[in-house]
Each structure stands twice: as C-alpha cells, then as structure tokens.
Amino acid sequence: MRKLQFSPGGLNKFALLILLALVGVVFLSPISTPAQSAEGRHGAVATVSQIASQAGIDAMKKGGNAVDAAVAAALTLGVVNGFNSGLGGGCFILVRRANGEFLAIDGRETAPAAATRDMFLRKGKPDAQLSQIGALASGTPGALAAEELALKTCGRLSLKELLLSAANIAADGFVVDKHYAAVLKEEAPDLRKFESTRAIFLKPDGSACKAGEILKQPDLARTYRAIADEGTGWFYGGPFASATQTWMRENHGLMTVEDFRNYHAVLRQPISTDYRFRRPVPAARTSWKSLIFSQPETFTLLISPRWTEPISLPKP
C-alpha cells in the first residue's frame, strides 16, 4: 500500500480532487463550524431542522425503530423545510437491517406518461424555466409511496400516526429561522406567480415571511390528515390526484390521475463498493460514487486521531 504524498508528480489531479472531497471535511469542518454534540443511549437523529430531528426522536420514544424515526423526520421536513423536502418530491431510502442486510427503496419521481423529449423546447430552443418552475417542472411524486413501503417493510409504527404528528406542526405553525426566511425572500418573485404559494408563503402585501415569524400551512395539514384517515390511495389516484390533474390542465401541465395511480416505489438491491469496508451506494449516480470510494483505496490517508485538530501534511 502506497503512502500518500502531496508532490507535483506523485498524485494525479483526479485522485487528489477525489481525496479532498472525501477527507476535506475532516480538517475543514472543525475550523469553520462550532463544535456541537449530542448523546443518546438508544439512537440518534440528525436532520437540518431541530423540529424534524425531535420528531424522529419522539417516534423512537413511542417504540419505533430507526426507519420509523426517518419517516417521521422526513414528513416533518416537508413542513419545516419544504423548499428541500415534501410530498411533492421523491427520495431514496437506504436501510441496514439488524442482520447486516441492506435494503434500498427507490422513491424518485417519474415523468408523466405524456412527457416528450421536446417538452422544454420553445421555437426549437430550450427554455430552462419550463423545467424549473410551473406545471411542466414536476414529476409524479414518489416520497410518500417510498415512506409507506419503508414502514411496511421495516417499521413498527403506522404511517397514520406519523402523518398526524407532522400535521399538527403544519396547522399550529413553526418559527421561521434565518435560512428559511432568506430562501423565501429569494424565491418570492416565483412564489408570487401562483395563487396557492402567494397565500401560504407571502403576506398580503406580497412580502415574504421574516425570521422569527410563525408560518402556518393549514392546507398541508389537511392533506396530511386526509392521507392519515383515507390511506395513500387518497393521494395516489383519489381526490388529491384529481385536483392535481385539474390544476395541470389549467396551467398547461401533463400530469394525470393515471400517472399517480401507476406510480409504485421500487425495492432495489443496492450496488456496493469496497472502501476498507463494504459500503452500499444509492442508485443515483452509482458509477461515479463507486469510483470516488475506490480511488483512494490504494493510499494511506492521513487522518488526525482527534476531530478537533487540523491535519499537518508533509511538504512537497
């Protein structure tokens, strides 16, 4: 096994970039991010939101396992982190069972059946806005189907219980933090284009919610509660799908009730690669992720024994 040397000719640029991507966080994070820690005897939950993380912890306290906690956190992120997560999107779920078996659930969005190669072209030229904003920008959502499959396959709690907990947060509201407020301000011009987003995220004068204010989402709460009461069929093929189809037709979209009915999350065998130990790789961009993990295998990585210490590298 070769020892890693940072010399002009000793390491090709590609391998160096891969190495920095892998271990850069080791010596950069302690310098740029204040140290924070949390302890738990039976499990831990980490998300971008304290509210969502707490939802996952609460699920475990009710007797749920890690999968229940992940779904609880995901549903809550759809409330408090809607610009990144939510029922309208998709996801991958990677589960490691107690026996060491890995399970992958593919819940990514799928294109409407009526989608075509040239749907984002106008007068022969691509219009990037069409793929990012509006009725043509959406795929058939898969997150809810994936979360339900994960619970049925590996969970202990019911989807209804987890949905109702998240619905309460949507109805009661949460305090908008600085990051969320900044996103709303940046996206306000696009949010103003649609009646529903104006009503939820903007004030009557058209300005966005500010940090420290309470954001309530009663429509989302009603949607969560309807799914909890009626089952996911209410969403995939029922009233929600019908309402979506109506809106799509009114706004030159393509998605139909049949697109919803034909959607199914898929159980997949995850592809694995070796990097000092066996590691499953999610389905997205599998080839290059496998390459990233395999490239440094032949090198000895210089990692500090303490996360709080920067790494000293030998001079060329």
Share of residues in the chain with pLDDT > 90 (%): 67
26 burial level (CB within 10 Å; 0-12, 13-18, 19+):
middle
- Local confidence band at 284 (pLDDT 50, 70, 90 cut-offs): low
Residue 289 φ/ψ, nearest 5 degrees: -65, -40
Q: Is the pLDDT confidence value at 292 over 90?
A: no
pLDDT value of position 276: 55
- Examine the pLDDT at 231 and tell me if it is beyond 70: yes
- Which tokens belong to 234? 């209410």
- Per-residue confidence (pLDDT) for residue 32, from 0 to 100: 39
- More confident of the two residues 24 and 149: 149
The mean pLDDT of 173-187, rounded to a whole number, is: 95
pLDDT digit string, tens, across residues 126-162: 999 999 999 999 999 999 999 999 999 999 999 999 9
Q: Would 167 be classed as within a structural domain?
A: yes
In a domain, 273, yes or no: no
Report whether pLDDT(297) > 80. Answer: no
pLDDT band at residue 307 under the 50/70/90 scheme: very low
Residue 273 banded pLDDT, cuts 50, 70, 90: low
Going by pLDDT thresholds of 50, 70 and 90, the confidence category of residue 90 is very high
Whether residue 74 lies inside any domain: the answer is yes
24-33, 57-66, 262-271, 285-294: lowest mean pLDDT where? 24-33
Token match 């290059």: residue? 288
Full DSSP string of 252-267:
T----HHHHHT---EE
Res 295: pLDDT = 52
Domain assignment present for 55: yes
Q: Does residue 56 register a pLDDT over 60?
A: yes
Could you tell me if residue 169 is inside a domain? Answer: yes
Q: What is the pLDDT of residue 279?
A: 57
Q: Is there a domain that residue 89 lies in?
A: yes
Q: What is the pTM of this model?
A: 0.78
Write out the DSSP string of 154-177: H-SS-HHHHHHHHHHHHHH-EE--
User: Is residue 315, in this structure, part of any structural domain at all?
Assistant: no
Domain for residue 110, yes or no? yes
Q: How confident is the model at residue 195 (pLDDT cuts 50, 70, 90)?
A: very high
**Sheet containing 102-107: which strands, arranged edge to edge?**
91-96, 102-107, 266-268
Which domain range does residue 117 map to?
50-126+140-173+264-268
Domain count, the chain: 1
How confident is the model over 91-140, as pLDDT tens digits?
A: 999 998 888 888 899 999 999 999 999 999 999 999 999 999 999 999 99
